[in-house]
Structure 1
C-alpha cells in the first residue's frame, strides 16, 4: 500500500514511546530460549522480533523467517546446538540471496552439521542439531557482527565454551559489546582481550531475573532527522532510553549535534531540541552504525548540504543494496549522489531546485520506492516537512517499527493512504 505524505508542519512539542530495541530483543529472545530462567519486558514489537520469537517456539521441521536477516543468522547458530532436532531454515527470495557461508563454515569448524539445500553459501539450509565439543574458531574481523554475535550467543552452551579469534581490524564493535554485555547481565562469563573473545561454558541454572529492553535507537533516528528539518525551538521527547546505551546507533546524539539538534537525557527519556541551523558540509564514518546511513543521507539532502558517509560496506547485503537504493531515490528528487562499494557522497543542492514545489503530487515525479526495506520508507518520511511525496509499500515499516506512521501523525504529519 502506498502512502501520500502531504507537506506537514510539526507540533512545537511532542512525545513518542518507542518499543524495545530490535537488536537487544533478538539477542535476549535467543538467550531466553537457552536459559528460560529470566523474563523480558519492553520487547520489540517489530516483525523481525515477532518472527524470532515464533521461530524459537516452533516445533515445525521447516522454519521460514521471511525477510528477517538477524533471525536467519542467530537461528542458524541456535538450531546447530539443539541436540536431536532437525530443521530446515529458509526465508524470502531476497533472504536466499544474502550470504550465510561465513557463519555456516564457522559452525562447521565447531562440529555443526549443516548442509545447503539450493545454492552453496546461501539459505535455505538444513541443520541437524548436536552437541558441539570444539571450542576454537577464527573469523575475519570485518565480517557482519551478526555472524560473531550468533556464535557468542550459543557459546556458553558449547561443552567447552568458545574461543573466537578475529583477524584484522574489527568493525561493528558496539554490536559485539552489546552481545557480551547481555551475556554478562544474565550471568555468563566472557572476556574480550585484543582480538580474542572467550565465553565460558555454562551448565548450571542461572539466577531468575527480569530484564527490560532499552528502546530502539535506530527507530529514534527518524526523529533526530525530523527535528533537524524543523525550526529552531522544536522539541520531541522519546522514551525509554539510557545515556550509557549498549546500542551503536546511540551515536546519533553526537552526529545530530552537527545538524543543530541538542539531546538531553531526562529520567528514562531523551529530549531532542532544534538549537541552531547548521548547513556546513558533513562527513561521518558509520562503520559502527551503518543502519543510520539512510537517515543521515536524507537529512543532508533535505537541508541542501554536502555529505560524505564512509564505512558502509555492509549496506550492500541488507534488505536491498542500500547504497544503490539511496542513489536511485535521491536522484529521482533532483539530488546528485556518487557511491562506491563502501561510501556515499551527496553533492550540495537546494531540495527540489529542479522540480519546483511538490513534484510527486503535481505528477512531475515518481513515488519513493522502498525495495522491501523498512529503513528506506522511514528515512524518506521526514521530507514531508519540506514537500509532499508518495512512499511506495509504506507498510514495510512493520519489519522494525509497526506504529511508525501513527506516531508521525501524532506529531503533526498529514498522511493519507
Structure 2
C-alpha cells in the first residue's frame, strides 16, 4: 500500500510538471490583465522580447518576437514585419529590449529585405517561405455561429475587431467564424491573410491560472525544460489557444493548420498557404476557431495569385551594442549554441544594419529572429493541486475563461 501511494504521488507531480510547462507555452507574451485604457502601460506587464524600430525621427514599438517559445524545446524562428522602419544615413536602427522579469535567449537576428512593385505586399509565413500579396480578396461572407455578418469588422485594417465572444449568451467555451470565398476556376492554392493578435483578456486568464501554483511556480517550470515542442503543440490545440484553421472538404471540417500565438501588444500580419486543389465545390469555406475571447481579428482576406519571383536579400548585423556598451554581435549572427542573453529588466541591444540602395518601386523589411525565453514569476501561497490537475482535460482552458468572465 505504501508503494502504491508513493507511485500515485509521483504520477501526480509528474503530471503537474508537464502541465505547468505547457501553460508556459500557452501564455506566450501575457502578463497581468489590464483594461484597454491601460494598454499604454504594456512595458510593465507584457512578457515577450520587444522590438523597436527607428522611423527617421524616433524609435517606435514594432511588436514582439518568438511569442510562445518559453522553453528550450520551443525555440523557433519568427518573422516580424517592420512597417515603420526607415533608413537613416544608409543604416537601419533597431532596439531589442527586456522590460519584464524574464530571461531572453536570442540565438539569431537578421533582416530579410525584399524590393518589389509598389502594389505588391510581401509576408513570410511561419515556415520561412516568401508569400507575395498582389490581389487580396475579401470574403464574400463572414459569419458567426449565430449567422451574424462580421464583414464590417474584418474588411479593413482599422483595429475594429471581432473578439471571438459571440458565444457569451450560450454555454459554449470556444467561438468560431466561417469565411467564404468564390473559388477561381483554375485555383490550386490560395494565401489566407490575417491581421490579428491575442487579447488582453487572455493575459487575465493565464495570470489567474498561474496564481493557482503559489510559491512553487518557478520550481515546477524549471523541471520541464526538456519537453518537446510536439507535446506542447498538441495540448495547445486541445485547449483552442492558437487560432485554429479548418478547411471544409466534402461537407466536413478538417483541421488544416494553425496561426501561432501572436502576442497581445500589437496586431500582427500573417499568412498561411492553403492547398485548394482537393476542394471540389465552387466555394472555399474556412473556419477560424479559438477559445472564448482568446483572439482579436482585425482583417481577413485571400489571395489567389501566384507568387512573384522576388529576390530576398539577407542583411546581417553590423553592430549590436548592449546597455553596457559591449558589442554582442557575434552572439546574434548564427544559428548555434551561442546566445545573447537578457537576464533582467533594462537589458537592451541597439542593433545597426546596413541599408542597401532601393532596386524597385517599394521595399519590405522583415525581422527574422530565433530564440526562446524563460518566464519568472514571484508568487506566494500553497499550490491548489486539485484545481490545477483539472487542466489536463481537453477544453479546460476555454472553460476557465468562461468561469472567470462570469464571476
- Give TM-score scaled by structure 1 length: 0.23
Q: Larger helix proportion, structure 1 or 2?
A: 1
- Give TM-score scaled by structure 2 length: 0.24
Q: Larger strand proportion, structure 1 or 2?
A: 2
